[in-house]
Amino acid sequence: MGEKPIRTLSVDIGGSGIKVMVLDDQGAPLTERERVDTPRPATTAAVLHAIQELAMGKDFDRVSVGFPGIVRHGVTKSAVNLHPEWIGFDLASVLSQRLGKPVRAANDADIQGLGAIEGNGVELVITLGTGFGSALFLEGQLVPNLELGHHPFRKGDTYEQQLGQAALDARGKKQWNNRLAKAIDLLERIYNYDCLYIGGGNAKKISFDLPPTVKVVRNVAGLLGGIALWRDQFPTRAVESNNVEPNN
């Protein structure tokens, strides 16, 4: 009999929801996506408890985590839509201790992009949800920790202030779509991308015709891309597992 395939628990921490799915060693789903609302307040303890509850009863050998902020060596460096105590928190190590498995963590938009891109030329990914995530790829290689969401966009506001969930709720779908169309035009002129991928829970609310170089991707890409954290070519400054290694 052959060796048992390595199973990866892929976790997507969002500002409004936490999702999990188990993947096989090729990145194909072995379970349905499960989701719970992100706790309020979204403290480290509350979010880790939610992940533990979602992981309970599942068979997996290692864990990939997408986090809505900058991640370096498994440590979260920003957390605009979560609790401030996430800043400087060693997510990979602490979650590894909780689950008893090796853990790697990276920015959630980076992981979503890895689940969506084709690996050709310049590819930009933006995610529309509670906040505004972003990731940039060149010939399939990630440029980690691009944080477009907090850059100026228009009228003194950032992309996230103009296109995040709060802006959608306050201004309505029509104005939100008008702003998004302007953002797409601006991003194309800045990055001259070959393709722009739009993901996140609010991508389904786009109501205008997109240019041919823009594609909407399924939100599940944020989980399916989790297998990429265990590829050798993934930038080591974005992720880090603990000293436990999966059985190969």
pLDDT value at 239 more than 60: no
Q: Same domain, yes or no, for 104 and 140? A: no
Q: How far is CA 201 from CA 64, 136, 155, 173, 221, in A?
A: 20, 20, 25, 14, 11
Q: Same domain, yes or no, for 95 and 122? A: no
pTM strictly above 0.75: yes
Is residue 84 helix, strand or coil?
A: helix
The reply to whether 140 falls in a domain is yes
The reply to whether 247 falls in a domain is no
Q: Same domain, yes or no, for 105 and 135? A: no
Any idea what the CATH number is for the domain that residue 141 is in? 3.30.420.40
φ, ψ for residue 38 (rounded to 5)?
-65, 130
Q: Same domain, yes or no, for 106 and 121? A: no
The reply to whether 238 falls in a domain is no
Q: Identify the band that residue 244 occupies on the pLDDT scale cut at 50, 70 and 90.
A: very low
Residue of 109, 162, 154 whose CA lies nearest to 136: 109
Q: Same domain, yes or no, for 128 and 179? A: yes
- Compute the average pLDDT of residues 190-197: 97
What is the reported pLDDT for 234? 54
Which segment of 2-11, 60-69, 165-174, 175-184 scores lowest on mean pLDDT?
A: 2-11
Count: domains in the chain: 2
- Distance (Å, whole) CA 243 – CA 247: 13
What is the reported pLDDT for 228? 86
194 CB burial (10 A radius; 0-12, 13-18, 19+): middle
In which domain, by residue range, is 137 found? Answer: 117-216
Q: Same domain, yes or no, for 124 and 206? A: yes
What is the reported pLDDT for 194? 98
Q: Which residues contact 56 (CB under 8 A, 6 or more apart)?
A: none
Q: Same domain, yes or no, for 125 and 204? A: yes
The reply to whether 235 falls in a domain is no
Which segment of 141-155, 175-189, 206-220 scores lowest on mean pLDDT?
A: 141-155
Q: Identify the band that residue 219 occupies on the pLDDT scale cut at 50, 70 and 90.
A: confident
Q: How far is CA 72 from CA 126, 239, 241, in A?
A: 20, 6, 11
The reply to whether 242 falls in a domain is no
Confirm if 52 and 20 have CB atoms less than 8 A apart.
no
The reply to whether 92 falls in a domain is yes
- Compute the average pLDDT of residues 131-154: 91
φ, ψ for residue 146 (rounded to 5)?
-75, 120
Which segment of 93-102, 201-210, 234-243 scores lowest on mean pLDDT?
A: 234-243
Q: Same domain, yes or no, for 15 and 55? A: yes
Which segment of 40-49, 96-105, 226-235 scores lowest on mean pLDDT?
A: 226-235
In the chain, beta strands by DSSP E: 8-13, 17-23, 34-37, 62-67, 71-72, 75-76, 89-90, 103-107, 122-128, 132-138, 141-143, 152-154, 157-158, 195-199, 214-216
Q: Same domain, yes or no, for 154 and 196? A: yes
What is the reported pLDDT for 235? 52
pLDDT value at 163 more than 60: yes
The reply to whether 180 falls in a domain is yes
Q: For 32, how many CA atoms within 13 A lie in the half-sphere containing its CB?
A: 2
Q: Identify the band that residue 245 occupies on the pLDDT scale cut at 50, 70 and 90.
A: very low
- Compute the average pLDDT of residues 71-82: 91
What is the reported pLDDT for 232? 60
Residue of 132, 229, 115, 238 whose CA lies nearest to 180: 132
Q: Identify the band that residue 5 occupies on the pLDDT scale cut at 50, 70 and 90.
A: confident
What is the reported pLDDT for 2? 57
- Compute the average pLDDT of residues 1-7: 76
The reply to whether 243 falls in a domain is no
Q: Same domain, yes or no, for 105 and 145? A: no
Q: Same domain, yes or no, for 101 and 142? A: no
How does pLDDT run across 106-124, given as a tens digit for each residue? 998 999 898 889 999 999 9
- Distance (Å, whole) CA 101 – CA 208: 44
Q: Same domain, yes or no, for 65 and 156? A: no
Q: Which residues pair with 98 in a beta bridge?
A: none
What is the reported pLDDT for 126? 96
